Structure 1
Amino acid sequence: MQQPIQPSCAASAPPARRRLAPQVRVAQILDAALVEFSERGFAATTMDDIGRRCGLSKGGLYAHFASKDVIFEALLHRSLAPPEWQEPPVPPVEAGTRAFAQWLVDRLYAGLLERPAAVVTLRLLAAERGRVKDLVELWEHNVVRPNMALLADMLRTHAARLGLPPSVIVREPWLVIAPVMYALLTQMILGHEPAMGLDCLRSSHVELLCELLDPRERIASENAHQNGL
């Protein structure tokens, strides 16, 4: 008599859930939350919605984040946080300001414009500003202001080291990030990069910082050119 076919263990057993590293799982949760917040709005999105989007149970989601407010704050930190400034390089004095300006621009572009979620998060922030006012103010106080103060200190240190004359950009360090914010707003509102392209914007940004920090190099170069040197 023919024996009945026994189902294999592989066919009957549910697929094993992969255990991911916490940082990978957190990134998945934030990606899912950004989609849900953008599609539904912050108020209408629930933790269940976020959990379903990233394939986690409610318990699994709460193991990483206590609430959607905490998730929103984490999104701000991930996508719109200023660069984590490290000690800037100390080039030879003869290198002038250009190496320092290039270092600043490289850090800013890597920290903001090269983050794919930055524009989406900025758009979400503009739409939900009134609903998450306390979170935004906390983010500004704990993240934005300290980073701007650190940037101001670096500018003052550089100017003092090279004996540069007083400059508006040392007094107003927000001017350093203005071109980056222009690019982010252009992408957010118009849906495309600035007309000149990011490479041209980056190059012009370096020139702007050099001019504001120390125009003497440009003036000396122009004088030499006029004198035929």
Structure 2
Amino acid sequence: MVKKFAVDLYFDLISPYSFILFESLLARRSTWPMEVTLKPVALGHIMKASGNKPPAFAVPAKGPYMGRDVTRLARYYNIPLKFREDFLTIIQTKSSINADRLICAVQLAQPEKAEAVARALFRRFWVDRADIFEEKDFLEVLSACGVSDPSAIVSSISSEAVKGKMRENTDEAVESGCFGAPWTVLTLENGRKEKFFGSDRLHIIGHMMGQKFDGPLVASL
């Protein structure tokens, strides 16, 4: 049996680059020897802890560039992401923390549904351009994913168990040197951990596993 590499993917739903890596990395599980663990994090806390600032606030020119860059990457990877024109307003007025906690809640209660819920939340926000901030949004996603007792899952978002899981993921990421999302930690056979920021290091991740990066996804999602 081929030994699988441990890959921890730290992400926040509010990050378009996280959506790109989420899909492009998971699509390679059938060909790359890896076990991917999804770890939702509080990006705002990571930015604050690392002294990082959102791109549009740090350097104004980064905002327009980010829109073009995300659109270009989405085309390359055949991911139907549509960069939201209201993105800057959203990140100043809303928080994705409860949506990220929702994934943690599903991981604790019905782990077999967690990946589908994460994907549905990403697609709802970045493909359908719908909100992921209110209880009604969460109930719609959970029901569509076939999660049992959606109301109980939503209620558990504020529980200490769910908050603790999210906090643990976030602290773990910060301690490993994370300063933004997505953040990937690859554990090699000798136990050494290699860390990668962003969605554009798949070719290096594959190389370190002895695998060839075969370019964009063949089929559109």
Q: TM range, normalised to the smaller chain?
A: under 0.3
TM-score, normalised with respect to structure 1: 0.23
* Structure number having the greater helix percentage: 1
Higher strand share: 2
Higher relative contact order (CA 8 A, sep 6+): 2
